[in-house]
Amino acid sequence: MNELTRDKKHIFKTMLGVMLVALVASFIIKPTANASTGEDREAPSFRTMNTAIIKDSENIPEISVSKFLMNIWENTGIYQIIHQKTDAEIAQAKLDAEATEKGMEADPFAYARDHVPGWQKIVMIAIGFLIVYLAVAKGFEPLLLIPIGFGTILVNIPGAGMGDAPHGMLHIIYSAGVGNEFFPMLIFMGIGAMTDFGPLIANPKTALLGAAAQLGVFATLFGVALMNLIPGVEYNMLQACAISIIGGADGPTSIYVSGKLAPAMMAVIAVAAYSYMALVPMIQPPIMKLLTSKKERLIKMKQLRVVSKTEKTLFPMMLLIVTILLLPPAAPLIGMLAFGNFVKQCGVVERLSKTMENELMNIVSILLSLGVGSQMTPEKIMNGSSIGIILLGLLAFCIATAGGLIMAKIMNLFLKEKINPLIGSAGVSAVPMAARVANKVGMSEDPSNFLLMHAMGPNVSGVIGTAVAAGVFIATYGH
């Protein structure tokens, strides 16, 4: 009985083994239909690995070793710099094809006008590294310059496509928030949450210094008119207004105004504005020392009065009400500034205030600076009009600095308690770096002369003044 049972088990195991072998063999030997032709083809196996066609691989070309190495070489940065194929070349090819279809003669010079040689990419990459160097080694506003420098480097890498539309990372960043008013509005909200209007409230007459610094903004309009006399350089009034805002050393406002009045020039205007903001420690001190005497730089100002919490809380609301009544086009900028400042001063939403001035401000600053750097491409920077904008921006910034200094000297003719003219240079709206520069120059003359809090008055009034100037331009030409 036991032997019979063992025989049955043996027969069962033998039959099961045969079935498994047959099943495996059917998968290996059975022909399968060709996906493209519907014909039977061999399935891939060790036996057929040299002849079988893998599914969905029918149209993939075979690559030889020599062709593989050639593809690698053609995709190196060295090759693409030597054989630069730009968007202009691609666009010209499309224009030629369209002209051929319509039976028209193509313009043979269109590509030559827009072609960007590879060496210009190298120049822009070198500029990007220089910007990073200035930020790290020299301490020139690293929070701005490091992202701008890396944006410049990354967008100019041949073949990387980081600035290409529509899927390049830097292009997405620029389109999402830099090319419109989104990021500038968030920056103004963060500035409001970081700003203390106490020094301005305690010494309201310093608001005149911030207003005088806007002289650079309006004087640049005449500079733009003169630049039009140079062959190959042409600016209309809308572009002139957008360029002149650079004089306020306010990057978000420059982006906002150029987006409204001169979108085509937004890239170079944004780059110029942020560059001069970062270079405040280099540009301002020589002008300050040139226009003031040692005696004036040694003037000590008495300590400011203590400003109550009620005053600080009511100030942004009053500022917003005045803007609504007198200059609504400036309300987006000043409104976000007032919102951020009110959240800070009211004291009942500390979490929101901390988020605005820390996490949100840091994130938006990174994205905005990368977006600005992404516009540092040869075709946008290395031309006559763009170089003119950079020169005009520098002129506007210098005049704005001088305007604040001269206004302080004029005010001292009538005031019993003299103002140190150095704080007038802080009338440009580069907060708080312009105030820090004024304080540093003052302390270089007298280490005990602490001007930082006094300089913050014209500094924050300069933010308001630049926003008002922007509102005036938009109200005049925005329609």
DSSP codes joined into one string, 75-103: TSHHHHHHT---HHHHHHHHHHHHHHHTT
> Is residue 322 over pLDDT 90?
yes
pLDDT of amino acid 32:
47
What confidence category does residue 229 fall into, taking pLDDT thresholds of 50, 70 and 90? confident
> Are 151 and 373 contacting, i.e. CB atoms less than 8 angstroms apart?
yes
| Coil vs helix vs strand at 141 | coil
pLDDT of amino acid 107:
44
Lowest mean per-residue pLDDT among 23-37, 68-82, 153-167, 222-236: 23-37
What confidence category does residue 44 fall into, taking pLDDT thresholds of 50, 70 and 90? low
The structure tokens 């006399």 sit at: 229
Radius of gyration from C-alpha coordinates of the chain: 33
pLDDT of amino acid 121:
86
Angle between helices 266-278 and 237-244 (to 10 degrees): 20
pLDDT of amino acid 143:
86
Looking from the CA of 63 toward its CB, the CA atoms found within 13 Å total 8
Q: In the chain, what percentage of residues exceed pLDDT 90?
A: 41
pLDDT of amino acid 93:
60
pLDDT of amino acid 259:
83
Tokens (6 digits) for 329: 């086009």
**Domain definitions of the chain by residue range:** 22-58, 65-115, 180-477
Tokens (6 digits) for 104: 């028209």
- 186's CB contacts (< 8 A; 6+ apart) are 177, 336, 360, 364
Tell me the C-alpha distance between 195 and 344, whole Å: 9
Q: Average pLDDT for residues 328-332, to the nearest whole number?
A: 91
Tokens (6 digits) for 288: 């300050």
Q: Is the dihedral of CA 472, 474, 478, 479 positive or negative?
A: negative
- 223's CB contacts (< 8 A; 6+ apart) are 392, 395, 396
The structure tokens 């195991």 sit at: 13
pLDDT of amino acid 128:
92
> Are 472 and 253 contacting, i.e. CB atoms less than 8 angstroms apart?
no
What confidence category does residue 33 fall into, taking pLDDT thresholds of 50, 70 and 90? very low
pTM for this one? 0.77
pLDDT of amino acid 12:
66
pLDDT of amino acid 382:
79
Lowest mean per-residue pLDDT among 132-146, 219-233, 331-345: 219-233
Q: Which amino acid is present at 435?
A: A
Tell me the C-alpha distance between 405 and 425, whole Å: 5
pLDDT of amino acid 202:
94
Q: Average pLDDT for residues 233-242, to the nearest whole number?
A: 84
Lowest mean per-residue pLDDT among 167-171, 183-187, 283-287, 391-395: 391-395
Burial group, residue 31, by CB count within 10 angstroms (0-12, 13-18, 19+) = exposed
Q: In the chain, what percentage of residues exceed pLDDT 70?
A: 80
Tell me the C-alpha distance between 308 and 194, whole Å: 18
Higher-confidence position of 272 and 147: 147
Tell me the C-alpha distance between 232 and 373, whole Å: 26
